Structure 1
């Protein structure tokens, strides 16, 4: 069973308790939560929830992968699936699928066990081959430490490469800013 509306709302409110200045930027998320469609369904438009894993290694670097579809260097992540009971579960599943790092090799960033490090809203271009209009992803970005050495094994269908980047050069400006507060 995918994450419930109540779960998404609860996680969002816990996040906003830390970042109340971001409430306005989550207008599309609140509209999705008030709608009749599941907010975590990839077919919910104009916006739906996705999840990413911000994986930090022992050298204070963040794992980025090159998504084949966009060519962009991003954190491992994607859409929620029916097996994901909680939002964090989706981030862990995507990390395992795209980078080959199992949940047993990571630990949540201290203080962020139940709250994402960041929530970002970004536009996704229309994809006529998938019958998808232009829409928005509301990406819940969960932070983890690589708890045990583990090699990155890329999912060849979706991922072209990877790179470990220092906090100061993380691809997302909002993640970069929040990581800077941790050092």
Structure 2
């Protein structure tokens, strides 16, 4: 989960620009050949492959993602929640009928966000983790839901506050967001330990509340 409508707070002090172009190009050259439309293997460095592929589509975001890119290139294991100061999280943007998106009222942060959270050892891939979080937090029937992209529609890096109840100091999340579509899904039993509620919001209102990633989900779901 994130903490503000932009989900994660960018930290300018952690966004060095030099030698950014060299770093991005080196990583892209090394791993581009291994990227395919079926990148569903956490054991094979799923997050590194997907971040590289994402930057191929959104190269203007390379500066804001330079620190996690370097960490992944150095072999950092970031899929476990216990890995600090950075670990991976996932988000799910579920669009219904091309007109509204499902948001949750996050208990810990007290704001509206897309469903999402940390990885579990049983997750086979990042998109599987996003699908699981979507079902757990909102109770939607996954038989009514379809993924609209195997690659993330957004990747965000930023600082999240300490969670004393979880034994976590202030740290950073690298959040991979996936888009899903449905014609008729309904909110079911919510995960009351994580969210206070879940509801559908008109796309324009959701973009105002959550940020630019809503527009990404629209383009992908169209």
TM-score, normalised via structure 1 length: 0.87
Distance in 2 (alpha carbons) for counterparts of 1:176 and 1:149: 18
Change in CA separation of 1:148 and 1:163 when aligned onto 2, cut-off 3 Å: closer
Structure 2 vs 1, CA of residues 181 and 101 (structure 1 numbering), >3 Å: closer, same or farther? Answer: closer
Separation in 2, partners of 1:125, 1:27: 21
How do 1:19-168 and structure 2 match up within 5 A? 19-35=58-74, 37-109=76-148, 112=149, 114-168=150-204
* SS, match of residue 141 in structure 1: strand
C-alpha distance in structure 1 between counterparts of 2:44 and 2:74, whole Å: 10
Q: Which of the two has greater strand per residue?
A: 1
Q: 1:7: which partner in 2?
A: 46
1:175 aligns with 2:213: yes
Distance in 2 (CA, whole Å) between partners of 1:142 and 1:25 is 19
Q: How many aligned positions are there?
A: 179
> Any unmatched runs of 5+ in structure 2?
1-40
Q: 1:92 to 1:180 in 2, by over 3 A?
A: closer
Work out the CA distance in 1 between the residues paired with 2:140 and 2:185. Answer: 10
**Residues in 2 aligned to 1:32 and 1:43: alpha-carbon distance in whole angstroms:** 16
Q: Tell me whether 18-27 or 125-134 shows the greater mean CA deviation.
A: 125-134
Cα deviation digits, residues 66-97 of structure 1 (max 9, x gap): 01111110011000000111000000000111
Structure 1 unaligned regions, length at least 5: none
- Residues 141-150 or 38-47, more deviating: 141-150
User: What's the C-alpha RMSD, in Å, of the aligned pairs?
Assistant: 2.1
Structure 1 pair 43/165, CA: closer, same or farther in 2 (3 Å)?
same
Q: Normalising by the residue count of structure 2, what TM-score does the alignment of the two structures yield? A: 0.73
Change (3 A) 1:157 1:127: closer
List structure 1 segments (4+ residues) > 6 angstroms apart after TM superposition: none
